[in-house]
Amino acid sequence: MEKLIYLDNAATTKTAPEVLEAMLPYFTENYGNPSSVYGFASKNKNAVNMQRGIIAGVLGAKPEEIYFTAGGSEADNWALKATAEAYEKKGKHIITTKIEHHAILHTGEYLEKRGFEVTYLDVDENGVVKLDELRAAIRPDTILISVMFANNEIGTLEPIREIGGIAHENGILFHTDAVQAFGQVPIDVDACHIDMLSASGHKLNGPKGIGFLYIRKGVKIRSFVHGGAQERKRRAGTENVPGIIGLGAAAARAAETMEDRTAKERSLRDYLIGRVLAEIPYCRLNGHRTERLPNNANFSFRFIEGESLLIKLDMKGICGSSGSACTSGSLDPSHVLLAIGLPHETAHGSLRLTLGEDTTKEDIDYVVDSLKEIVAGLRNMSPLYEDFIKKNQTE
């Protein structure tokens, strides 16, 4: 087989073999509709509810507070649109940040077109929300604060407990997009004052197209998909039973393996960061040095085009990303890198490498060796770099 070093686990992950195995019978012998009355099918309702219990257990929530969705984007859309509608009599102001995933940012724009006001908070140079600016943005008509648990591009972990505390002191609902964090860092919805939380199966070695929204009991939120009475009448549609089984299995597995897995990833991540910063000149690490996802490294290389870098890495069997997967293909620099203050040119030369549970030290060595060679080669062809070197020599 051709060499493949997959360092794009923030875009998606491989479904774990045990997860797939747990799912398979629900495609074949256990195909019944959970809403049917006969035992053959209704036992699938129990299977689905068991996954709710497993996921709730991981978050310190109650099983009936977990609502299955078709992934993270749907959960984010639901949280924002449905709270906006349910609480618009109280106010029409929402606070979020400039570094959210597009599932939040574009939903914010959608709501702005419908008469809501959205404040997009700045972040500091490490990508951390500034709590004093959050406090200052709160108004009597603020109904919702939505801040991501961990950023998908630069890996920065936000001070969620403090943000949730501020929201609740002010009687405001708090939603967090935890798609990158769920399964990677411990989360307790009570300790962090979280009212709603989005997560997605395929970011934690589960299947694609399945996720959930945690909705704290008592939060008024409208139904998102109208139809049958599934998901306590809040999200209609015959349950994606194999997907839900896979999501539950992935969540249980991620919780069980979290400590060892993330310790290993953290140490490999730091090894990668250390080597790149020491061995490649004119390069920087983006995101917080320590308060970051265990598997995320994001670099900017001056005088380099991120897209060319990705193509050259691909030729060596290495998969990385230059922005988020959704912005790839467009030439706009990442909104996250601009928000942390990078100039356009530096933001363009960025590379995100996100480790997986199977990543080895040999993989990292191969990647750093390849990266050194590629960056040097690309710089040799860059007129900007040539000018820069000439100037530095004459000074």
Active site residues: 326
Distance separating alpha carbons of residues 92 and 94, to the nearest angstrom:
7
Neighbours of 134 (CB within 10 A): 21
Distance separating alpha carbons of residues 306 and 241, to the nearest angstrom:
40
Per rule CB under 6 A, is residue 184 in the interface with ligand PLP?
Answer: no
In contact, 30 and 342? CB cutoff 8 Å: no
User: What's CA 285's distance to the chain center, in Å?
Assistant: 19
Residue nearest to ligand PLP (CB): 72
Name the minimum Å distance from CB 335 to ligand PLP.
13
Nearer to ligand PLP, 164 or 201 (CB): 201
Q: Which stretch binds ligand PLP (CB under 6 A): 47-55, 188-196, 198-206, 218-226?
A: 198-206
Binding ligand PLP (rule: CB under 6 A), the pick from 61, 82, 148, 368 is 148
Nearer to ligand PLP, 183 or 306 (CB): 183
Per rule CB under 6 A, is residue 196 in the interface with ligand PLP?
Answer: no
In contact, 351 and 7? CB cutoff 8 Å: no
Q: Which stretch binds ligand PLP (CB under 6 A): 87-95, 196-204, 233-241, 268-276?
A: 196-204
Nearer to ligand PLP, 109 or 260 (CB): 109
The CA–CA distances, whole Å, from 287 to 126, 152, 296, 326, 347 equal 5, 10, 9, 19, 13
Per rule CB under 6 A, is residue 152 in the interface with ligand PLP?
Answer: yes
Residue 108, φ and ψ in degrees, nearest 5:
-60, -45
Q: Which stretch binds ligand PLP (CB under 6 A): 116-124, 173-181, 227-235, 315-323?
A: 173-181
Name the minimum Å distance from CB 28 to ligand PLP.
25
Name the minimum Å distance from CB 323 to ligand PLP.
12
Binding ligand PLP (rule: CB under 6 A), the pick from 82, 95, 144, 179 is 179
Per rule CB under 6 A, is residue 175 in the interface with ligand PLP?
Answer: no
Distance separating alpha carbons of residues 50 and 138, to the nearest angstrom:
39
The CA–CA distances, whole Å, from 311 to 14, 229, 308 equal 22, 48, 5
Name the minimum Å distance from CB 152 to ligand PLP.
4
- Strand, coil or helix: 53: helix
In the region spanning residues 241 to 300, those forming contacts with ligand PLP, defined by CB under 6 A, are none
Binding ligand PLP (rule: CB under 6 A), the pick from 177, 231, 239, 363 is 177
- Give one DSSP letter per residue of 332-367, joined into a string: SPPHHHHHTT--HHHHHTEEEEE--TT--HHHHHHH
Q: List, edge to edge, every strand of the sheet that includes 93-97.
A: 66-69, 211-215, 196-200, 173-177, 142-146, 93-97, 117-121
Q: Which stretch binds ligand PLP (CB under 6 A): 88-96, 184-192, 200-208, 387-395?
A: 200-208
- Give one DSSP letter per residue of 220-231, joined into a string: ----SB-SSSHH
Beta bridge mates, 10: none
Binding ligand PLP (rule: CB under 6 A), the pick from 103, 154, 157, 336 is 103
Name the minimum Å distance from CB 31 to ligand PLP.
24
Binding ligand PLP (rule: CB under 6 A), the pick from 9, 15, 107, 180 is 180
Place of tokens 């194999």: 242
Nearer to ligand PLP, 150 or 283 (CB): 150
Neighbours of 304 (CB within 10 A): 26
In the region spanning residues 36 to 75, those forming contacts with ligand PLP, defined by CB under 6 A, are 71-73
The CA–CA distances, whole Å, from 158 to 130, 151, 262, 330, 346 equal 10, 8, 18, 27, 24
Nearer to ligand PLP, 261 or 352 (CB): 352
Binding ligand PLP (rule: CB under 6 A), the pick from 108, 206, 211, 242 is 211
In the region spanning residues 72 to 101, those forming contacts with ligand PLP, defined by CB under 6 A, are 72-73, 76, 101
Please give the residue ranges that form the binding site for ligand PLP (CB under 6 A).
Answer: 71-73, 76, 101, 103, 148, 152, 177, 179-180, 200, 202-203, 211
